Structure 1
Amino acid sequence: MPTTILNGAEIAYDDIAPPGPAERTILLLHGFASNRNEGWKRTGWYQGLGRRGFRVIAMDQRGHGESARFHDPADYGRETLAADALALLDHLGVRAPEVFGYSMGTRTAMQMALDAPDRVNNLMLGGVGGKLFDPPQANAHGESIVTAMNAEDPASIRTEFLRSFRQFADEQGEDRQALAAFSQAQSPALDRAALGRLDMPVLVVAGAGDDLAGDPEALARVFPHGRGVTLPGCDHFSAIPHAALKATVLDFLDGMLDDDFPPFE
């Protein structure tokens, strides 16, 4: 397991060369309570991308997997996560890869594009959509991701999607206190106008049953070169391993989804 110290945190990552010459490089950013092994390796992304000639870089974002697990919300925040990702690219000598984030990872990916637009070739955002800019809604049971992570018994969590996240975190052996601190980190709202000035091609894709995301097309319209895709038969959790998501991402990178912009520099 390779690790390196980035911005004062030990970050675990994989850097996998394809069977033949590497034609392209992609950075994968997992979702909340997940990690590089569960989000990308076990679900077949390493193998599928490798067969297509990609050098695959995947990191455990701080607070997750085998990376540093802090219990102070001040150690997390979107700009810090993006800085970790950019520092990892520097460490590995990568200039401008394709960047694919899922769920929480989309926020890291978007912040990377805002902070260093010349470092992101194509931007892919999965498990997110028009609800990104919705104001936070009060939970009917007064529960939050923090209370879910701190609950003694997962069965006591009354909100289904929060219980799902808690069960997923337990299955992965994640540090629940670190995840609770992660959820309490303060980050400024994503700037819709600044996102609207990004020049790179952007794919927004989510399952038709993903109630957390909303309509991908609604978010894609924020970007000058955005394309939204809805995956039938998928929800927030089932989309990641689904062949339809892999096919959509690869079609986007091959320039098959839209002729209005080139897929590569």
Structure 2
Amino acid sequence: MAVPLSDLTRMPDPQLIYAADGTRLATYSWGDVDAPVVVLVHGFASSTRDTWVLTGWARRLTDAGYRVLGIDLRGHGKSDKPHDPDAYAIGTLATDVETVLDTYLVEDALYVGYSLGARVGWEVVRDLPQRIHRAVLGGVPDGIPLERLDIEQVRANIEDGTPVEDQTTKNYMTLTSRVPGNDLRSLLALAEGMRQTRTIDPDPSNAPTRPILFATGTKDAVLEGSRTLAAAAPNSSFFEIPDRHHFNAPGSKAFKDAALEFLAGS
């Protein structure tokens, strides 16, 4: 159910959709149900609310005349949070997006993803070119998602409180604790599930062919990895989000402006 334009900072009750394996996926809709659809998919340890509503994306897109469809990835937000790594293959997350489109009877959509949501978007745009006509992939790393996370240190911290020493892993832990409702065990399972996917690096012969805007912060450690993915996609352009790192790029006005201009292209 759509919510009024005047109340876009308040989250509506989630509409729950069942994935093929029974996992419940929380979805949210704003705007005119007959307007062109933009699907929003957030990053690791975040949610629709955290990445897209509090930063103003939902409002900007709806004001521009779009219907906004937000998805909490499994393991995040109001969606179910399995503890089994097998539930989190990259292909499963991409199929979840297709299931949401099917349930909402959306045949044609635009896609905006950030970080993990952008990595999922690479798969979605490649596999569903007849349904996703343009996409914005922000802060997307090449290689295996969450590869720098020290899984054993996280597991030890969960089991017996052993302090995490690796700084990158500490950063991920801080990110996880920042968003209310996060379940560390499910996010650990997600990181493990990502590593079970063997073919993960971009293959130029099998890259998405639809127009894609890649956007990454100038201070983001994944900047060059994002460029690698952009180089693999034949109809891509690249936007450096000025003076932003990985965790504050979604709030950038310049990022929103560039994305809206790109989505409006023919």
- Which TM-score band (shorter chain)? 0.7 to 0.9
Equivalent residue runs for 1:168-247 within 5 Å: 168-172=175-179, 173-185=181-193, 186-190=196-200, 191-196=202-207, 198-214=208-224, 216-247=226-257
Q: Alpha carbon RMSD of aligned pairs, Å?
A: 2.4
Partner of residue 258, structure 1: none
Give me the whole-angstrom Cα distance separating, in 1, the residues matched to 2:212 and 2:90.
19
Farther-moved stretch of structure 1 (108-117 vs 175-184):
108-117
SS of equivalent residue, structure 2 residue 165: coil
Q: Deviations over 1:209-242 (max 9, x none)?
A: 0013426443212111110111120000010111
TM superposition shift of 1:134: 8.1
The Cα of 1:23 is off from its aligned counterpart by 3.7
Q: CA deviation at 1:52?
A: 0.3
Cα distance in 1, alignment partners of residues 94 and 146 from structure 2? 23
TM-score by length of 1: 0.85
Q: Secondary structure at the match of 1:122?
A: strand
Flag the 1:148–1:217 CA change in 2: closer, same or farther, 3 A: same
Q: Aligned equivalents of 1:164 and 1:182: distance in 2?
A: 17
Q: Equivalent residue of 1:100, what SS?
A: strand
Structure 2 counterpart of 1:98: 110
Relative to structure 1, the CA distance from residue 174 to residue 134 in structure 2 (aligned partners, 3 Å threshold; closer, same or farther) is closer
The answer as to whether partners of 1:146 and 1:180 remain within 8 angstroms in 2 is: no
Distance 1:10 1:146 in 2: 28
Correspondent of 1:9 among 23, 30, 38: 23
Supply the distance in 1 between the matched residues of 2:226 and 2:51 (Cα, whole angstroms): 20
Q: Look up the match of 1:156.
A: 163
Aligned match of 2:82 in 64, 70, 73? 70
Matched, 1:114 2:126: yes
Larger mean CA deviation between 216-225 and 52-61 belongs to 216-225
Instruction: Work out the CA distance in 1 between the residues paired with 2:163 and 2:245.
Output: 24
Out of 44, 47, 66, the residue aligned to residue 54 of structure 1 is: 66
CA 1:193 to 1:218, structure 2 compared with 1: closer, same or farther past 3 Å? Answer: closer
**Structure 2: 5+ residue runs without aligned partners?**
1-12
Give, in whole Å, the separation in 1 of the partners of 2:250 and 2:225.
Answer: 17
Specify the code of the residue in structure 2 equivalent to 1:235: H
AA paired with 2:260? L
Task: Render the CA deviation track for 1:184-231: whole Å, top value 9, x for unaligned.
Answer: 0111323413443x3210111100000134264432121111101111
In the TM superposition, what is the alpha-carbon distance from 1:94 to its structure 2 partner? 0.5
SS of the counterpart of 2:213? strand
Asked if the contact 1:97–1:119 (Cα under 8 Å) also holds between the matched residues in 2, the reply is yes
- Selected match of 1:34 from 33, 36, 46: 46
- Name the CA shift for 1:134/1:90 in 2 (closer, same or farther; >3 Å): closer
CA distance in 1, matches of 2:65, 2:152: 40
Percentage identity across paired residues of the two chains: 28
Runs of 5+ consecutive residues of structure 1 not aligned to the other structure: 256-262
